[in-house]
């Protein structure tokens, strides 16, 4: 299709400012971080000294770095799997739990599920400090006390702390994906669902053989988004964990270590090397996920 006369100038003029802002505030800082990763800059010298691959060599021998990477691996496995499973379950119930018409009041339920998404992470951190309090005054421990179970240190026990944070991340994220999947399911032609019902297709079989294949592209994108979120977690860990990444480093993540290395220890070059490693890990995950989960597109 040929662009109308003057259309190219209009498009260029319309996109020029957004692209310029993106280059200045996104691309340029990335390039600067890559440059600083090869220096020993401490944030005070105007001319950073080039140090080659020293920062990356040190990074490979840093136990704190590998501990954080290990936590990201757990997050990568748990956060997408749990969140997508719960979101798909509720979205399917809301859209097809009562046949092709869906559940009455499904829009209201979607709004309720979506509510945690509009809360700031700092607010969620404060909220769950009350939920996870290690004494009987905590919401969870108060409920456990009613059945005679002693209080549990949800955030003070190294084996529980990371999983407690994962539960909060799932609680915050699942509503968005319920709405996303519900919208995708609503676009599935009713004729397809009705034909499956006439063939005697059970609810579980309909989900795995009809709904999920037709929704696969959306699930794939959601998996990538949740994987990228698993490489973050800075705000929640900083506001909710014990001693920012504790106890004993059991909840530390790379963004938190980058912040601590740069602004507490003034090792901006080393922090930039961590940032580059985080960028490579995130990009690798996204590319591998899109390639491994790629399926032939189903037309309907």
What pLDDT, in 10s, does the model give residues 211-257? 888 888 888 889 989 988 898 888 889 889 888 888 888 999 999 99
Residues 90, 96: contact at Cβ < 8 Å?
no
SS (H, E, C) 99-143: EECCCCCHHHHHHHHHHHHHCCHHHHHHHHHHHCCCCCCCHHHHH
Average pLDDT, the chain: 85
Which of 1-5, 73-77, 283-287 holds the top average pLDDT? Answer: 73-77
* 70/99: higher pLDDT: 70
- Cβ partners under 8 Å of residue 136, min gap 6: 142, 145, 151
* 208/179: higher pLDDT: 179
The answer on pLDDT for 294 being more than 80 is: no
Cα–Cα distance for residue pair 196/61, rounded to 1 Å: 56
Rounded mean pLDDT, 123-148: 89
Cα–Cα distance for residue pair 113/130, rounded to 1 Å: 21
pTM recorded for the entire structure: 0.85
The answer on pLDDT for 68 being more than 90 is: yes
Task: Give the model confidence (pLDDT) of 87-131 as tens digits.
Answer: 998 888 887 654 555 667 777 778 888 888 888 888 898 899 999
Q: Which of 254, 103, 66 is nearest to 178 (CA)?
A: 103
The answer on pLDDT for 78 being more than 90 is: yes
**Percent of the chain's residues with pLDDT above 70:** 91
Joined together, the tokens standing for residue 227 give 């994987």
Homologous superfamily (CATH) of 63-292 is: MetI-like (1.10.3720.10)
Reported as type and span, the H/E element at residue 160 is helix 158-186
What is the model's pLDDT at position 6? 56
What is the model's pLDDT at position 62? 92
62: left (phi over 0), alpha (psi -120 to 50) or beta: beta
What is the model's pLDDT at position 102? 61
Mean pLDDT is lowest, of 111-115, 164-168, 169-173, 192-196, for: 192-196
Domain residue ranges in the chain = 63-292
Rounded mean pLDDT, 37-54: 84
Cα–Cα distance for residue pair 175/182, rounded to 1 Å: 10
Question: Is residue 7 very low, low, confident or very high in pLDDT (cuts 50, 70, 90)?
Answer: low
Rounded mean pLDDT, 3-10: 63
Residues 236, 244: contact at Cβ < 8 Å?
no
Residues 96, 203: contact at Cβ < 8 Å?
yes
């Amino acid at each position: 299709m040929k662009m109308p006369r003057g259309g190219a100038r209009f498009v260029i003029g319309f996109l020029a400012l957004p692209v310029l802002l993106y280059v200045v505030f996104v691309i340029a800082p990335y390039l600067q971080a890559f440059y600083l990763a090869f220096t020993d800059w401490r944030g005070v010298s105007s001319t950073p000294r080039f140090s080659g691959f020293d920062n990356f060599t040190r990074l490979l021998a840093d136990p704190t770095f590998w501990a954080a990477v290990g936590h990201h691996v757990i997050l990568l496995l748990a956060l997408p799997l749990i969140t997508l499973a719960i979101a798909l379950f509720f979205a399917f119930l809301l859209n097809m739990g009562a046949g092709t018409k869906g559940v009455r009041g499904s829009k209201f339920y979607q709004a309720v599920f979506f509510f945690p998404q509009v809360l700031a992470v700092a607010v969620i951190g404060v909220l769950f400090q009350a939920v996870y309090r290690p004494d009987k005054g905590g919401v969870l421990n108060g409920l456990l006390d009613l059945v005679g179970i002693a209080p549990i240190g949800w955030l003070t026990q190294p084996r529980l702390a990371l999983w407690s944070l994962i539960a909060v991340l799932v609680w915050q994220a699942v509503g968005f994906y319920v709405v996303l999947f519900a919208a995708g399911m609503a676009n599935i032609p009713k004729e397809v669902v009705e034909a499956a019902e006439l063939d005697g297709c059970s609810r579980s079989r309909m989900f795995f053989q009809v709904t999920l294949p037709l929704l696969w592209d959306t699930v794939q994108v959601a998996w990538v988004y949740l994987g990228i979120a698993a490489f973050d977690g800075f705000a929640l860990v900083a506001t909710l964990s014990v001693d920012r990444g504790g106890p004993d480093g059991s909840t530390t993540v790379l963004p938190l270590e980058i912040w601590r290395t740069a602004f507490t220890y003034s090792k901006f070059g080393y922090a930039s090397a961590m940032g580059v490693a985080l960028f490579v890990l995130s990009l690798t995950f996204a590319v591998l996920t899109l390639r491994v989960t790629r399926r032939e597109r189903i037309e309907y």
